[in-house]
Amino acid sequence: MNKKLSIFLFYNFLFLSAALAHFQKDGTSTDNILEDVILYSDGQLIDLKFSNGKISEILPKKTQKGPNNFQIYVAPGLIDQQVNGYLSHSFVSNDLNKEKLNKITQRLWENGITTFFPTLTSESSQVLLQSFSNLDHILGDTQLAQSIPGFHLEGPYISSLDGFRGVHNPKHIRNPDWKELKTWIKASGNKIKIITLAPELDGSMELIKKCVAHNIKVALGHTTANAEQINEAVKLGASLSTHLGNGCANMIHRHYNPIWPQLSNDGLTISVIADGFHLTRDEIRTFFKVKGPTNIMLVSDITRWGGMPSGKYRDFDKEIVVTTSGAIMMPSENVLAGASFLITKGIEKMIEYTGCSLAEAIEMATTNPARAIGLNDRGTITRGKRADLICFTYEKGKFEIIKTIVGGKVVFDKMIKP
């Protein structure tokens, strides 16, 4: 290695260690402070204090870092409201256990994701009942529960048409049934917080009203709905659009399709998968220009095959291919079968594609989802908010996590070897 580079890396390591040295290896804090970190939102050099798991003080420093200093930013922990699984494990499963959920959660923490919603897709009533019950049982672990405030039910009340249903198994797609949904809500311990449905189905409008009354956020997705149906759903309380531009047929009418009315309706906050595969650069730029930086949420839509080697797998009763570039394909349907990248990739791609600021991109994965979903205790660096924090570097378009803190406890530290 070049001698100058070795010296540079050595001093960077010392700097990182000094700036973030106030924590024991077990994750407890000696004085609950992050020193000499840059606030992501305005570039201000600060010390950030927290106690009892909450942010207590944000102290601006009188001096700023010079241009040659290593830049360590602090931001709220990332929030992903659409995680289908990871590392070969799915949340629609009877064999998911605490060890497997711990493994998934730890890897997400290592990537700065402090809050996520396990997402369950279209299945039989019994399988979903067992899966929700199993997840609720596992979440008796309080540390895991801090990062999992609820579940996202995507389907089975969606369009059964090819293309629009994506990889959802058509034999499990059906019209809304409030009685059925209530059994899942009970099995989940009242933790179903988001439901994605198609408003054009018989019974959808009535189900939207009931979900809203039970404080469940309603998202529109995998839908063939027209403008009138979408606008009516929003009037009844639907407020989100699930991975807009996906869950949609390859060939649609250029004027009359589900995308335009969701884009044009100011009552909908949209989620997007900005991984370089699900949407083109121009689509993301258009969505950003229409919705603006405050009405977009980044999601990963990561599946059980995320984090796995490229190759052929079996899922949804079909062959799944993970390509060397990271796309997850279902060749028989000619559709993407979820994603393999985490939302850190989305932050990088939003900046690359739209030219938005680092702060705007981060807020699409923190502040915006917290507000849209109703997570009022997190999502911003504000006194009194939960101390879910990430320290990171952003160099040459790459986002790298240095430290992750959940509820005031360090759950990942790059400077400490496990």
Strands 296-298 and 311-315: unpaired
What pLDDT score does 169 carry?
Answer: 94
Same domain membership, residue 84 and residue 62: no
Q: Is the pLDDT of residue 238 over 80?
A: yes
What pLDDT score does 10 carry?
Answer: 41
- CA pair distance 308, 339, nearest whole angstrom: 11
What pLDDT score does 5 carry?
Answer: 45
Q: Which residues pair with 225 in a beta bridge?
A: none
Q: Which helix (H) or strand (E) holds 276?
A: none
| Per-residue model confidence as pLDDT tens digits over 94-106 | 889 999 999 999 9
Same domain membership, residue 89 and residue 60: no
Check: CB of residue 48 under 8 Å from CB of residue 381.
yes
Same domain membership, residue 131 and residue 11: no
Same domain membership, residue 396 and residue 273: no
What pLDDT score does 141 carry?
Answer: 75
| Per-residue model confidence as pLDDT tens digits over 56-82 | 999 999 876 555 566 899 999 999 999
Q: Is the pLDDT of residue 335 over 60?
A: yes
206-228: average pLDDT = 98
Specify if 181 maps to a domain: yes
When pLDDT is cut at 50, 70 and 90, the band that residue 30 belongs to is very low
236-265: average pLDDT = 96
Residue 133, number of CB atoms within 10 A of its CB? 17
What pLDDT score does 375 carry?
Answer: 98
When pLDDT is cut at 50, 70 and 90, the band that residue 142 belongs to is confident
Same domain membership, residue 269 and residue 298: yes
Specify if 260 maps to a domain: yes
Check: CB of residue 338 under 8 Å from CB of residue 302.
yes
Same domain membership, residue 111 and residue 47: no
Specify if 99 maps to a domain: yes
Same domain membership, residue 83 and residue 70: no
Same domain membership, residue 24 and residue 110: no
Q: Which residues pair with 60 in a beta bridge?
A: 46
388-401: average pLDDT = 96
Phi, then psi, of 217 in degrees rounded to 5:
-70, 135
388: left (phi over 0), alpha (psi -120 to 50) or beta: beta
When pLDDT is cut at 50, 70 and 90, the band that residue 23 belongs to is very low
Check: CB of residue 175 under 8 Å from CB of residue 203.
yes
Instruction: Give SS3 for 273.
Output: coil
What pLDDT score does 338 carry?
Answer: 86
Specify if 133 maps to a domain: yes
Q: Which amino acid is at 215?
A: N
Task: Specify the CATH number for the domain of residue 332.
Answer: 3.20.20.140
More confident residue, 72 or 143: 72
Number of structural domains, the chain?
2
What pLDDT score does 315 carry?
Answer: 83
Give the domain range for residue 95. 78-373
Q: At what angle do helices 227-235 and 204-213 cross, to 10 degrees?
A: 20
What pLDDT score does 22 carry?
Answer: 52
When pLDDT is cut at 50, 70 and 90, the band that residue 31 belongs to is low
- CA pair distance 408, 205, nearest whole angstrom: 41
Same domain membership, residue 299 and residue 260: yes
What pLDDT score does 333 carry?
Answer: 82
Same domain membership, residue 314 and residue 170: yes
Q: Is the pLDDT of residue 20 over 70?
A: no
Kindly state the tokens that stand for 297: 């949420």
Q: Which amino acid is at 390?
A: I
| Per-residue model confidence as pLDDT tens digits over 300-328 | 999 998 989 999 999 877 899 999 998 99
Which one-letter DSSP state was computed for residue 39?
A: E
- CA pair distance 397, 186, nearest whole angstrom: 44
Residue 289, number of CB atoms within 10 A of its CB? 9
Specify if 57 maps to a domain: yes
What pLDDT score does 4 carry?
Answer: 46
Specify if 418 maps to a domain: no
Kindly state the tokens that stand for 155: 């389907």
Check: CB of residue 412 under 8 Å from CB of residue 110.
yes
- Range in 138-147, 150-159, 285-294 the model is least confident about: 138-147
Q: At what angle do helices 178-187 and 125-138 cross, to 10 degrees?
A: 30
- Range in 112-116, 269-273, 326-330, 348-352 the model is least confident about: 326-330
Could you tell me the maximum CA-CA distance found in the chain, to the nearest angstrom?
A: 69
Q: Is the pLDDT of residue 172 over 60?
A: yes
Same domain membership, residue 24 and residue 136: no
Kindly state the tokens that stand for 350: 């939003």
Which one-letter DSSP state was computed for residue 23?
A: B
Which one-letter DSSP state was computed for residue 65?
A: -
Burial classification of residue 204, based on how many CB atoms lie within 10 Å of its CB (0-12 exposed, 13-18 middle, 19 or more buried): buried
Task: Specify the CATH number for the domain of residue 55.
Answer: 2.30.40.10
Q: Is the pLDDT of residue 18 over 70?
A: no
pTM of the model: 0.92
Residue 10: C-alpha distances to residues 14, 133, 178, 363, 392 (Å): 6, 49, 60, 32, 18
Same domain membership, residue 138 and residue 11: no
What pLDDT score does 29 carry?
Answer: 45
What pLDDT score does 128 carry?
Answer: 98
What pLDDT score does 293 carry?
Answer: 97
What pLDDT score does 65 carry?
Answer: 57
When pLDDT is cut at 50, 70 and 90, the band that residue 350 belongs to is very high
Q: Is the pLDDT of residue 24 over 50?
A: no
Residue 290: C-alpha distances to residues 82, 187, 274 (Å): 23, 39, 16
More confident residue, 21 or 335: 335
Cβ-count burial 313-329 (b if 16+ within 10 Å, e if not): bebbeeebebeeeebbb
| Per-residue model confidence as pLDDT tens digits over 182-197 | 999 999 999 999 999 9
| Per-residue model confidence as pLDDT tens digits over 406-416 | 999 999 999 87
Q: Residue 74: which of 382, 418, 417, 396 has the closest Cα?
A: 382
- CA pair distance 366, 75, nearest whole angstrom: 9
